[in-house]
Amino acid sequence: MNEKTTNGESEFPGPMDILWHGAAYYPELWPMQSPREELERVRDAGLSVVRIGEFAWSKMEPLEGEFDFSLFEEVMDIALELGLAVVLGTPTATPPIWLTHGHADRTLHDQEGRVMSHGGRQHAAIEHPYVRERCRIIVTEMAKALGAHPALIAWQIDNEFKCDVSEDYGPSVRPVWEEWLKERYETIENLNTAWGTGVWSQEYQDFEQVPFPVKCPGLHNASLLTAWKRFHRERIAGYGAEQAEIVRQFSKAPITHNAGMLFQSNPELVMESMDFVSFDHYVDSDNWYRMVTNYDYWRNLKPDRSFWLMETSSAHNGSLLGFHKPHPKGFVKAEAVAAYALGAKAFCYWVWRQQRAGAELTHGCLMQSWDSPTVGMQACREVEAARQILEPALSGKRVKRAEVALMWSDTGRVMLDTEPHNGLDYCELLTQWSRVLRSTGMHVDVVPEGDSLEGRRVLITPFMPAVSEEMLGRIEAFVRAGGTWIAGPLTGGRTIEHTVPVDRGLGCVEAIAGIRVKHSYPLFNSGAEGVAFDARVELTGWSYLLESEGAKMVGTIEGGPTPGLGFLSENALGEGKVVVLGSEPCGERHDEFLKALFSHYAQGAAVEQWFTVSEGSFVSPWESLDSESSETLIACNFDGEGGSLRLPGRCIDTETGVEIDSEELVSIPAYGFRILAVEPKAYFRRDEEGTAVLVDRV
């Protein structure tokens, strides 16, 4: 939604219309303070938006059925006067004591049956009919009271679904679990067949017998474990959708939810009912690449709209337990520039003022609990200066859709959770693959399972054990039309019900890959190495050792119990290729090998969005909304070392107006950025050595 957002009654631009800069503010925690003076400070810091309300249920409904939104109305009135926009959060993550006190059945139970206490967040059992009803009521009353306020530019539903808790094993879940199973399997026989419950005499005779995966001696059935997680992911998304629907009855402001990549929810499902995407991400400067993975992902959940970064720290993280190291000077600016340059329309801090009470006393902020600006405030001023430069440069443009896509699959994540194969962590693996992919200099999208694949040239789907028929159909069409699909490690080795395929080792994937899996066993600590593209790499993990049935064997295994079999195959299909990576590269040459793999196939697929940029920096290509020909490059440095970029064509530095010749080395200042307008028609391809060569794009 780079076009204007419908924005209800608000006097402000919509969430997608400008580059916002904001912070979370909790007026309910500062009764000794004048909200006007505080909001004046917020405005003077250069911020344009505050998020309020998301934990204030006990202030809004101190006693059951008695509502008071006056503080929030007052804050919104003042914000409006001062020119500050407001995002309102529904407060359902933190119910008041009267909702759960003395009612263990209304609280979430963990896998050991422990009851979650009042005092933290997300402890209420959202499947409990009474809890659910009170959630609906508070959201309704809040939306009625505040939903048409002219300061309001957006709603945030709840806060970070499942960030502090995972699945609920409490009694209120029982009826919905059975209902979900019935809907999915229709008969208990179907469930038994799908899950292979003949193992260990698990067969069920009725849905009411299907257990929660609480502690049992040994391990539960993989299908039960995976189904349980899917069920909860659908339920929490439904909970968000229900609130969004209520809000829409009383308010025209667009709705979002601040999700996170690591929480126990599926962002792709959650965002289906939201108007725009937002997320929270706290990064430390040594791991800056993690934020790039985040931006590359959140940008793709609603590809026709931009997204918000709703929370990050202006300085460091902290809680009662400890803190992270402080961000080096300049890092927060680089973080914000990266966010805006990779498509975010907002960069917001948690939290405006230091928490004076609670569990997060040491968290980074912009103002101390007394009236003194923090190092975070310095960072905020640097961000604001950069934002003002970026805003006109990015207006009327959007980040180009990347030709290279790495799939972040919630199915893969859930299945690796159920079956971690010696401790594989899906999120960490995908983040590392994304880091290596970005380090080639390519422009990358990290895409959800539902990606249309339009405009993609290379699709990479690692660690995705099950590929649904629908997805395989979509991918096959993409390949036949000229795309390159790199599948694996593990991709295809399980059915969607988390059983082992019985037709072929890699199930439906094998059918279009021109291979046959000869053996499937762990190459873990086996001494096996893979050799491909003049590169050699140690192999590990649960592996599929391949023989050709028409495919070219690009990589073969040396050493280990069965040397000579393939681990990397390539099959021509239509205009494109299916590439199977049957084993997991590891060890010292992991990065080098993956880079060689990605570069080889990107070159073969004629990927154009590929920049010669030093490590620690990256380039984000933007296109104009109204003309295909003009392109802007934002080059950013993250590692604080500064970087350089060899330009693909003649460019103009938009800040200085200086023309820079193609092939000239352009420097990127430490934690700094350059905005470069590429001359129309200056496009390039890689030649066989990987060097950029200018071509006319026709």
From the annotation, which residues make up the binding site for substrate? 121, 159
Q: How far apart are CA 116 and CA 99, in angstroms?
A: 13
Alpha-carbon distance of 230 to 184, in angstroms, equals 11
| Beta carbon of residue 452, minimum distance to ligand GAL (angstroms, whole number) | 31
Task: In whole angstroms, give the CA distance from residue 494 to residue 515.
Answer: 17
Angle at 145 between CA 141 and CA 150, to 5 degrees: 145
Residues 238-277: x/- map of binding to ligand GAL (CB under 6 A)?
Answer: ----------------------------------------
Q: For residues 28 and 360, which CB has a smaller minimum distance to ligand GAL in the complex?
A: 360
For residues 224 and 310, which CB has a smaller minimum distance to ligand GAL in the complex? Answer: 310
Asked if 683 interacts with ligand GAL (CB under 6 A), we say no
Give yes or no for residue 579 binding ligand GAL (CB under 6 A): no
Among 143, 138, 122, which Cα is nearest to 265's? 122
> Nearest approach, Cβ of 312 to ligand GAL (angstroms)?
9
Q: Report, in Å, the least distance between residue 352 CB and ligand GAL.
A: 12
Least distance from ligand GAL to the Cβ atom of residue 284, Å: 12
Bridge partners of 485? 459, 578
Residue with smaller CB distance to ligand GAL, 193 or 369: 369
Report helix, strand or coil for 189. helix
Q: Is 168 in the site for ligand GAL (CB under 6 A)?
A: no
Piece of 6-14, 158-166, 512-520, 537-545 that binds ligand GAL (CB under 6 A): 158-166
| Shortest CB 387 distance to ligand GAL, Å | 22
**Minimum CB–partner distance for residue 351 and ligand GAL (Å):** 7
Contact segment (CB under 6 A) with ligand GAL among 33-41, 156-164, 405-413, 565-573 equals: 156-164
Q: Which residues pair with 486 in a beta bridge?
A: 460, 579
**Position 23 contacts ligand GAL (CB under 6 A):** no
Find the part of the chain contacting ligand GAL (CB under 6 A) among 157-165, 512-520, 566-574, 579-587.
Answer: 157-165
| Segment lying near ligand GAL (by CB under 6 A), choices 155-163, 332-340, 405-413, 597-605 | 155-163
| DSSP H/E element including 375 | helix 375-394
By CB neighbour count within 10 A (0-12 exposed, 13-18 middle, 19+ buried), where does 296 fall?
buried
Render the burial of 573-586: b for 16+ CB within 10 Å, e for the rest.
beebbbbbbbbbbe
* Burial bucket for residue 687 (CB in 10 Å: 0-12, 13-18, 19+): exposed
The minimum distance between CB 34 and ligand GAL, in angstroms, equals 24
Q: If binding is defined by CB under 6 A, does position 39 make contact with ligand GAL?
A: no
Rounded-to-integer distance, Cα 399 and Cα 632, Å: 9
Q: Which span (3-11, 159-167, 378-386, 472-480) binds ligand GAL, by CB under 6 A?
A: 159-167
With left for phi above 0 and alpha for psi between -120 and 50, is residue 84 left, alpha or beta? Answer: beta
Token digits for 431? 């983040």
CA dihedral over 312, 313, 318, 319, signed as positive or negative: negative
In whole angstroms, what is the distance from residue 612 CA to residue 625 CA?
Answer: 25
Q: Which of residues 397-436 bind ligand GAL (CB under 6 A)?
A: none
State the minimum distance, in angstroms, from the CB of residue 197 to ligand GAL: 39
Q: How far is the CB of 53 from ligand GAL (least distance, A)?
A: 12
Q: Are 29 and 361 in contact (CB under 8 A)?
A: no
Please, are residues 644 and 614 in contact by the beta-carbon 8 Å criterion? Answer: yes
Considering beta carbons, is residue 258 or 484 the nearer one to ligand GAL? Answer: 258
Cα gap 169→562, rounded to integer Å: 45
Kindly report the length of the chain: 698
Inter-CA distances, 320 with 284, 296, 314, 350, 538, Å: 18, 32, 18, 16, 42
What x/- string results for residues 284 through 313 when contact with ligand GAL is judged by CB under 6 A?
A: ---------------------------x--
Report if residue 280 touches ligand GAL, rule: CB under 6 A: yes
Which residue in the set 48, 159, 411, 612 belongs to the binding site for ligand GAL (CB under 6 A)? 159
Torsion of CA 271, 277, 283, 288, to 10 degrees: 110
Q: Which residue carries 């439906």 as its tokens?
A: 508
Q: Does 282 bind ligand GAL (CB under 6 A)?
A: yes
Q: What's 496's DSSP letter?
A: T
Beta bridge partners of 517: 546
Instruction: Measure the CA–CA gap between 686 and 242, rounded to whole angstroms.
Output: 49
Give the DSSP H/E element, type plus range, for residue 57.
helix 57-60
Place of tokens 């004591």: 97
Q: How far apart are CA 322 and CA 49, in angstroms?
A: 29
Please tell me what DSSP assigns to residue 278.
Answer: E
Does 160 interact with ligand GAL (rule: CB under 6 A)? Answer: yes
Say whether residue 350 binds ligand GAL (CB under 6 A).
Answer: yes
Q: How far is the CB of 79 from ligand GAL (least distance, A)?
A: 20
Q: Does 495 bind ligand GAL (CB under 6 A)?
A: no
- Catalytic residue numbers read 160, 311
For residues 109 and 96, give the distance between their C-alpha atoms in angstroms, rounded to a whole number: 18
DSSP state at residue 629? S
- Count the Cβ atoms, other than its own, within 10 Å of residue 251: 22
- Of 251 and 312, nearer to ligand GAL (C-beta) is 312
Closer by beta carbon to ligand GAL, 360 or else 497: 360
Going by their DSSP bridges, the two strands 277-280 and 566-573 should be labelled as: unpaired
Angle between helices 129-146 and 222-250 (to 10 degrees): 30
Shortest separation between residue 58's beta carbon and ligand GAL, angstroms = 16
Residue 363 near ligand GAL by CB under 6 A: yes
Nearer to ligand GAL, 333 or 363 (CB): 363
Q: Is residue 360 near ligand GAL by the rule CB under 6 A?
A: yes
Nearest to 426 by CA among 474, 497, 490: 490
Q: Which residues are annotated as a binding site?
A: 121, 159
Say if residues 514 and 480 touch (Cβ distance below 8 Å): no
Residue with Cβ nearer ligand GAL (94 or 431): 94
If the CB atoms of residues 23 and 191 are measured against ligand GAL, the closer one turns out to be 23
- The smaller minimum CB distance to ligand GAL, of residues 311 and 538, is found at 311
Cβ nearer to ligand GAL, comparing 318 with 616: 318
Size of site (CB under 6 A) for ligand GAL: 10
| By the rule CB under 6 A, 365 interacts with ligand GAL | no
Out of 300, 317, 440, 484, point to the residue binding ligand GAL (CB under 6 A): 317
Q: Is 163 in the site for ligand GAL (CB under 6 A)?
A: yes
Where do contacts with ligand GAL occur on this chain (CB under 6 A)?
159-160, 163, 280, 282, 311, 317, 350, 360, 363
